[in-house]
Amino acid sequence: MPGALSYQVVRSDLANLKEARDFIDMGAVICVQSNSTSPGTTGHEDPEVPELGAVFFYVASYNDGQDSSYGSASANKPRAAASGGCQ
């Protein structure tokens, strides 16, 4: 993202993903990478593996002086974590 100062990447279980009226609730998230200059996780890959039948999803946010929502800026609703994240 042009102008981004840092990125963070989080993971959640697809079963936690729910659409609320004004936002997408990602449920509890786990920080995979925080305060990085790269939106990717190369060199900081997530060591966890989902249980059989479960699916993880990963989303990034950026800070350009202000924190963004997770995921694509073109999505029609902001994405929010119910708990967890990168501190």
For the entire predicted model, the pTM comes to: 0.84
> Residues 14-27: pLDDT tens digits?
999 999 999 999 99
CA distance 34 to 31: 7
Q: For 35-84, give the secondary structure using H, E and C.
A: EECCCCCCCCCCCCCCCCCCCEEEEEEEECCCECCCCCCCCCCCEECCEE
In angstroms and rounded to an integer, the radius of gyration of the C-alpha atoms of the chain is: 13
Which residue type occupies 45? Answer: E
> Residues 19-48: pLDDT tens digits?
999 999 999 999 999 999 988 888 888 999
Domain ranges of the chain: 6-85
Query: Which pair of tokens denotes residue 21?
Result: 């009226």
